[in-house]
Amino acid sequence: MVLVRRIMIGASLRRGAARRVIATFILCSILLSGCTNPIGPPKPAANLAVDIDQINAGEPVNFDARSSTSPEGTVITEYAWDFDDGAETTTSQGLTSHVFEEPGTYGVTVRVTNDLGGSDSASWTIHVNAYPEISLSVPSLTKVGKFVTLDANASHDPDGGLLLWAWSLDWLDSDGDGDASNEVDSTESSITLMMNESGEMEGTLTITDDMEASTSRHFSLNVTTRTWRVVWEETRVSYTWDGYLEQGNTWAVIHEPGEGGRLLEVNATLTLAMDFLLQLPQDNFTLKLAVPTSAWNEEHATSQEDPTKEPKAYLDRQEMNSVPDGERTYDADDRDQLRMLLLDETVGRYGQGNWTWQVTADQSDPDWIDEVDPDEGNDWVLEVEFVILTPRITEVV
């Protein structure tokens, strides 16, 4: 009797376990009805590529997730982009572009989702290079004839890269092509220059780092002219030429008197040696002067005012140019420039250029009655004196 009861109890336990298994199976079937994956929807496989992952700030990057895949029978419907700089976007296609305005390192992520709600992510690291920062020291005002230093040594690259320097100084034509703005005048971090002319001088400094990121800075420098005091001083300059001429012959010399000054007066005297034993008549010479730049020509013949004195010819010119009034001040970039301007004034140009003096023996043949003259020519001396006004120029500091 006891045995029969144990057998009945064991059978009952087996039937209860079987019912629990069947109930669990039915419940799972109800809960998972319509699903193909007993642990969730099928997932896509995300894949991300970029056209460049090292850029300069402000440049775009193209992102491509089109190679992402999804299980057969499903399609990717959404691409959610996170650019790690606060910007996000969602696209239905696997392409997008983004501009990183600030330097830094960004982990860009795309999450792809299919039509059954499955999703997957892929990431790419983008390195954004900072532009060099220019620190430029340029004096705002200087004077002609002074040295100035243009200093950019304090410039730096926030990323610690190496820097290249390029100075374009619009007032220098380094290659001599007539255009001062199209060349690099220096590649040093600091340059020192002598300012040779007045005006507002402009230039550009460009600094480039080892990622070819460039920063440029335009600058200007005001160069003032210099002030000079001018006093005209009178000087006398003399020339003496001599020689011997036979009849029909000519002597000539070309020179430029008064160079560096203003001609005021000229006085010339041609003197012939007395003939032997005061014989008569005396020889006759001609003194000629030609100054082509002033269209000035003069001619004078020798004459003997006193039988006991040598024959002479004279040339005299006064007040050739105006006399400046006292002391004056002028503005000019340099002393030589001012001197040139003063000497080129309309009231002071007369007599400038080459002078040609010419002495001609018109008559020096034998003068004796028997036409035997021991001296078939004559000695002569030409003395010329110029009064010249020369500007003495001193700078007013």
Query: DSSP letters of 235-298?
Result: EEEEEEEEEEEETT-EEEEEE-TTTTSEEEEEEEEEEEPPPGGG-SSPPEEEEEEEEGGGTEEE
Identify the CATH assignment for 49-129 out of 3.40.50.1110, 1.10.10.10, 2.60.40.10, 1.20.1070.10. Answer: 2.60.40.10
Token readout for 54 is 């090292």
The CATH class for the domain spanning 229-395 reads: mainly beta
Token readout for 259 is 């160079």
Helix ranges, the chain (H): 2-31, 335-343
> Which residues make Cβ contacts (< 8 Å) with residue 181, sequence separation at least 6?
168, 170
The pLDDT of residue 96 is 98
SS3 content of the chain, % helix, strand, coil (to 5): 10, 45, 40
- Please give the single-letter amino acid code of residue 381: V
> What is the arithmetic mean of pLDDT over 242-256?
95
Q: What is the dihedral of CA 309, 310, 311, 312, to 10 degrees?
A: -100
Domains 49-129 and 141-224 share a fold: yes
Q: Is 6 helix (H, G, I), strand (E, B) or coil?
A: helix
The answer on pLDDT for 370 being more than 70 is no
d(CA 269, CA 328): 36
d(CA 366, CA 285): 15
> What is the arithmetic mean of pLDDT over 177-192?
88
d(CA 209, CA 114): 44
> What is the arithmetic mean of pLDDT over 85-110?
97
The residue behind tokens 């992520």 is 109
192 and 169 Cβ atoms separated by less than 8 Å: no
d(CA 250, CA 202): 60
Q: Where are the domains of the chain?
A: 49-129, 141-224, 229-395
226 and 331 Cβ atoms separated by less than 8 Å: yes
**φ and ψ of 98, to 5 deg:** -150, 145
The pLDDT of residue 22 is 40
Start-to-end C-alpha separation, the chain: 141
> What is the arithmetic mean of pLDDT over 201-230?
95
158 and 103 Cβ atoms separated by less than 8 Å: yes
CATH superfamily of 141-224: Immunoglobulins (2.60.40.10)
Q: What strand order describes the sheet that includes 312-317?
A: 312-317, 262-272, 377-395, 226-246, 328-332
Q: What is the dihedral of CA 88, 92, 93, 96, to 10 degrees?
A: -20
User: Angle 231-235-241 (CA atoms, 0-180°, nearest 5)?
Assistant: 155
> Which residues make Cβ contacts (< 8 Å) with residue 380, sequence separation at least 6?
242, 243, 244, 245, 270, 271, 272, 273, 285, 359
> What is the arithmetic mean of pLDDT over 291-314?
92
**φ and ψ of 327, to 5 deg:** -95, 135
> What is the arithmetic mean of pLDDT over 35-47?
77
For residue range 223-245, list pLDDT tens digits in order.
999 999 999 999 999 999 999 99
| Percent residues over pLDDT 70 in the chain | 86
d(CA 131, CA 216): 10
- Please give the single-letter amino acid code of residue 17: A
Confidence at 366, pLDDT banded by 50, 70, 90: low
Q: pLDDT averaged over the chain?
A: 87
Confidence at 77, pLDDT banded by 50, 70, 90: very high
Closest CA to 185 of 170, 168, 202: 168
Token readout for 303 is 């004459």
